């Protein structure tokens, strides 16, 4: 059954809000109609048949296996149609009167995001990407000499180098923690961070799933360790929003950041910043503009007071949340984990001497798979996969990163593994 927020959002989207828009970009009707049609197949008994239907919602070039989720994902047609229809609507009538509807759409999008990540709407800011969210926290905390921030050395630069730049200006200390290259248990990942925490530590800043190793940190355990010591916990969830079930209240973090354009398959240049209620008043906003006083009265909205926004993009965050809600995040997570495991197993079957950066223990990884082979350079493998086999991934050091998602079938994953084997053999 659709959540109340999804029904409300789709009802508003379909109920005349785009009356001045040109026809949909697809032949299958409005975003609301497409999602309702997809909802009718959610109970599909044939699991692979269902995922083939999901794949049809993505306008990916025929024969291309787009496996670069850790960097950029395609959006499904309902999201594309929302952005297109609402952009045309604004271009047809940019008056204050016509654009007034976006206030309600933004509110419903915020509500949908909050529901999706297990937070309150007042704790959610709709940012432009993970980088903006990370820098909002980095620049908004009152740190100074004698304070310490503990970070993972596998953090993205916006959750790593940004701390160094801020520390150079304000005089606090940044300590980078390394974890084992081939962890076998969660305890091996927790212990280095616990050792690093001390009386001067004010912030523990982590990445939920690493884009450089595929390791999934046990962030709930680490957030609990930080909270027990009175340390703020920040989690970069660029590789988990839309891929894993999230309950940020249960996770126990103080700040959580992510982007729409990765696993969430949402609009480009949109993101999410979560700030726990009791931390909102103590975190300074980076941007202050028109309407800031009102934004401050609405919790985390003070962090998305960014001036003129792409209203269609912001509204489409609600469509992306509805898309995930239609399929079910538990079903999505199970699918992503199954595809990643299938990819690892098929690569091992074709190439027994293949080497994995990503942990082979299922509990220590999610959807990011990084591997290399001693007989072919990573850059060569990356290019030949795309040029000769239509498999798009990312170069990663001496290897390649492939990230299968819900727009892939098991046959697609098998084909990608055969392509890797073919390049290595050739």
Residue boundaries of the structural domains of the chain: 120-311, 330-425
Given its phi and psi angles, is residue 166 left (phi above 0), alpha (psi -120 to 50 degrees) or beta? alpha
Q: Which residues contact 29 (CB under 8 A, 6 or more apart)?
A: none
Q: What's the pLDDT at 228?
A: 98
Give the strands of the sheet with 355-356, arranged side by side. Answer: 355-356, 369-372, 399-402, 394-396
What is the token pair recorded at 129? 């990407």
Asked if 333 and 243 count as a contact pair (C-beta separation under 8 A), the reply is yes
Pairs from 225-230 (Cβ < 8 Å, separation ≥ 24): 225/190, 225/193, 225/194, 225/197, 226/197, 227/252, 229/197, 229/201
120-311 and 330-425 have identical folds: no
- The SS3 of residue 25 is coil
Q: What is the rounded distance in angstroms from the CA atom of residue 76 to the CA atom of residue 20?
A: 23
- The SS3 of residue 164 is helix
C-alpha Rg value of the chain to the nearest Å: 22
Asked if 144 and 170 count as a contact pair (C-beta separation under 8 A), the reply is yes
CATH class in words for 120-311: alpha beta
DSSP-derived secondary structure letter, 269: S
In this structure, which CATH number among 3.90.1150.10, 1.20.58.220, 1.10.760.10, 3.40.50.12280 belongs to the domain 330-425? Answer: 3.90.1150.10
Residue (of 125, 99, 100) closest to 110 by Cα position: 125
Tell me the CA distances in angstroms from 280 to 30, 118, 158, 233, one per residue in order: 37, 17, 21, 14
Q: Which residue's structure tokens are 């942990």?
A: 359
Q: Tally Cβ neighbours within 10 Å of residue 317.
A: 28
Q: What is the rounded distance in angstroms from the CA atom of residue 135 to the CA atom of residue 165?
A: 11
Residue (of 246, 251, 278) closest to 263 by Cα position: 246
- In total, the chain counts a number of residues equal to 426
Task: Give pLDDT < 50 ranges for the chain.
Answer: 16, 18-27
What is the token pair recorded at 97? 């009167």
- CA 329 to chain centroid, in Å, comes to 13
User: Apex CA 140: angle with CA 258 and CA 108, to 5°?
Assistant: 45
Residue (of 337, 258, 324, 413) closest to 57 by Cα position: 324
Q: Which residues contact 135 (CB under 8 A, 6 or more apart)?
A: 158, 162, 286
Q: Which residues pair with 204 in a beta bridge?
A: 150, 233
């Amino acid at each position: 059954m659709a959540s109340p927020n999804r029904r409300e959002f789709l009802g508003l989207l379909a109920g005349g809000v785009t009356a001045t828009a040109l026809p949909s970009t697809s032949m299958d009707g409005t975003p609301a109609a497409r999602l309702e049609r997809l909802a009718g197949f959610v109970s599909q008994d044939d699991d692979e048949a269902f995922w083939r239907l999901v794949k049809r919602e993505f306008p990916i070039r025929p024969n291309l296996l787009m496996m670069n989720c850790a960097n950029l994902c395609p959006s499904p047609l309902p999201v594309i149609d929302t952005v297109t229809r609402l952009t045309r609507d604004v271009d047809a009538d940019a008056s204050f009167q016509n654009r007034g509807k976006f206030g309600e759409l933004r509110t419903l999008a915020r509500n949908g995001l909050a529901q999706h990540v297990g937070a309150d709407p007042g704790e959610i800011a709709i940012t432009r990407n993970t980088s903006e969210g990370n820098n909002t926290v980095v620049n908004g905390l009152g740190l100074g000499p004698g304070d310490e921030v503990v970070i993972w050395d596998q953090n993205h630069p916006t959750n790593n180098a940004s701390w160094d730049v801020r520390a150079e200006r304000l005089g606090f200390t940044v300590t980078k923690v390394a974890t084992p290259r081939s962890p076998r248990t969660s305890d091996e990942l927790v212990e280095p961070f616990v050792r690093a925490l001390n009386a001067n530590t004010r912030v523990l800043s982590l990445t939920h799933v690493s884009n450089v190793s595929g390791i999934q940190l046990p962030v709930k355990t680490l957030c609990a360790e930080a909270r027990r010591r009175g340390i703020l916990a920040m989690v970069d969830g660029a590789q988990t929003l839309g891929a894993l079930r999230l309950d940020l209240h249960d996770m126990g973090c103080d700040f959580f950041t992510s982007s729409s354009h990765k696993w969430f398959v949402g609009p480009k240049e949109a993101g999410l910043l979560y700030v726990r209620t009791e931390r909102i008043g103590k975190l300074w906003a980076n941007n202050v503009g028109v309407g800031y006083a009102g934004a401050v009265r609405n919790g985390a909205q003070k962090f998305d007071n960014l001036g003129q926004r792409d209203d269609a993009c912001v509204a489409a965050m609600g469509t992306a949340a509805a898309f995930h809600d239609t399929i079910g995040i538990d079903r999505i997570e199970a699918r992503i984990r199954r595809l990643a495991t299938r990819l690892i197993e098929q690569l091992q079957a074709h190439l027994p001497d293949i080497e994995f950066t990503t942990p082979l223990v299922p509990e220590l990884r999610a959807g990011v798979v990084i591997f290399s082979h001693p007989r072919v350079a990573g850059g060569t493998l990356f290019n030949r996969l795309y040029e000769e086999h239509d498999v798009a991934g990312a170069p990663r050091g001496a290897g390649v990163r492939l990230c299968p998602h819900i727009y892939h079938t098991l046959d697609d994953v098998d084909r990608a593994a055969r392509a890797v084997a073919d390049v290595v053999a050739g």
